[in-house]
Amino acid sequence: MQSIGERLEEARKRKGISLREAAEATKIRSDYLGKMEQNQFDFELPDIYKRGFLKNYARYLELDPENILNDYTSGLQGKSRPGKKSGSELFGSMADNDAATDSADNAEPSYGRISANRTSSPSETDANAEDQGDDSDKIFYIKAGLIAVGTLALVFIIFGLIRAILGSGSDPVVDTPEQIDPPAISESVEATAPAAVEDSITLIASGNVYVLVKQRDDKQELFRKTMSAGETVQLSKSGPVDILFTAGENIVIDHAGERLRPSSSGTAKISIP
């Protein structure tokens, strides 16, 4: 009766396949395949891996995997009889009970290239090197995808912050004069006789400045605009007015031949009688 190794070698040669080609197709190292064809199962691997190698190799060579495994088990039992070397000495580490053998037959793992010195815990017995390589690729792509999503989210957050900042920089509407402290005026307004009913003021801009002019008595809005450098506006008023502006250094107010210039820059308010 032919041994396991002879049947494997004969089936491989009948298919015209080299050990190297068989190793590439089954993902089992060629030195392991060579030892199995020589009926030598003493390489340093747990018994469950040897069974998996035999099963996969037999299936690849179109042999009956179950017959191969049965012959392998019978060989182990024959070698473990008293007065002869135990199966663990001839065939490597064996499972201590039938549960490990059954799990090896039912798991049908596809084994990758495994180092001869590698040891596995019981929880790793169903893993294989090829699947681990695929899992590593999957983990890599998952991490790359998460990084890309995180980067995209960060870009959206930054874009939103920029829009919020730019939106807050639009022309302000000054409706709360009570919150603005009036600056000192370089040229004081001299006390004069009561103003005529109809009066006028002239606004002269030396730079960009936002100006709001309201009559104090009836709260009528006379002017609201952002003036540019060199622009002059003459307004008719009736009674005292409040003039609010955002850039005091860019505004001059001409009233009754007297020019008033704020002594400080920034947002402030001037009252004209």
Confidence of residue 181 (pLDDT cuts 50, 70, 90): low
The whole-angstrom separation of Cα 223 and Cα 206 is 18
| pTM for this entry | 0.31
Residue among 92, 87, 90, 65 at smallest CA distance from 76:
87
Chain center to CA of 127: 30
The whole-angstrom separation of Cα 210 and Cα 172 is 8
pLDDT score of 102: 42
Answer whether 36's CB lies under 8 Å from 57's CB: yes
Mean pLDDT of the chain: 74
Last residue of a domain, one of 170, 204, 223: 170
Residue 144, domain extent: 128-170
Asked if 114 and 138 sit in the same domain, the reply is: no
Domain count, the chain: 3
Residue among 44, 96, 103, 105 at smallest CA distance from 72:
105
Confidence of residue 183 (pLDDT cuts 50, 70, 90): low
The whole-angstrom separation of Cα 223 and Cα 232 is 12
CB-CB neighbours of 189 under 10 Å: 14
Asked if 9 and 99 sit in the same domain, the reply is: yes
Asked if 199 and 268 sit in the same domain, the reply is: yes
234 φ/ψ angles, rounded to the nearest 5 degrees? -110, 130
Asked if 201 and 146 sit in the same domain, the reply is: no
Answer whether 245's CB lies under 8 Å from 203's CB: no
Answer whether 226's CB lies under 8 Å from 266's CB: no
Lowest-confidence segment of 32-46, 51-65, 146-160, 195-209 by average pLDDT? 195-209
Asked if 113 and 8 sit in the same domain, the reply is: yes
Confidence of residue 108 (pLDDT cuts 50, 70, 90): very low
CATH of the domain at 219: 2.60.60
Classified as helix, coil or strand, 71 is helix
